[in-house]
Amino acid sequence: MKEAFELTKAQKEELVGRIKGYFENEIGEDIGDLKAMLFLEFIKKEIAPIFYNLGIEDSHAYMTQRLDDIFALNK
């Protein structure tokens, strides 16, 4: 199965750094690049699609409301 989206190398490196910083600052644990990358992959596969779908649902509701507004102008 193809992944829903791809990250560039630079994006992955930035996100790995953010994950490592989060673990260090908030949990007090120093994790390496491999653990951070595995965590990022977990988020991509298991969590990101849920937020993506919520965004799609919100966009659909917004656009539906705007279309209803436009059709209400019809005389």
Domain ranges of the chain: 9-72
Percent of the chain with pLDDT over 90: 79
* Residue pointed to by tokens 């988020």: 43
Q: How confident is the model at residue 74 (pLDDT cuts 50, 70, 90)?
A: confident
pLDDT reported for residue 20: 98
Spatial CB neighbours of 33, under 8 Å, sequence gap ≥ 6: 16, 20
Examine the pLDDT at 1 and tell me if it is beyond 50.
Answer: no
DSSP string, 7-73: --HHHHHHHHHHHHHHIIIII-----HHHHHHHHHHIIIIIHHHHHHHHHHHHHHHHHHHHHHHHHT
Percent of the chain with pLDDT over 70: 93
Mean residue pLDDT of the chain comes to 91
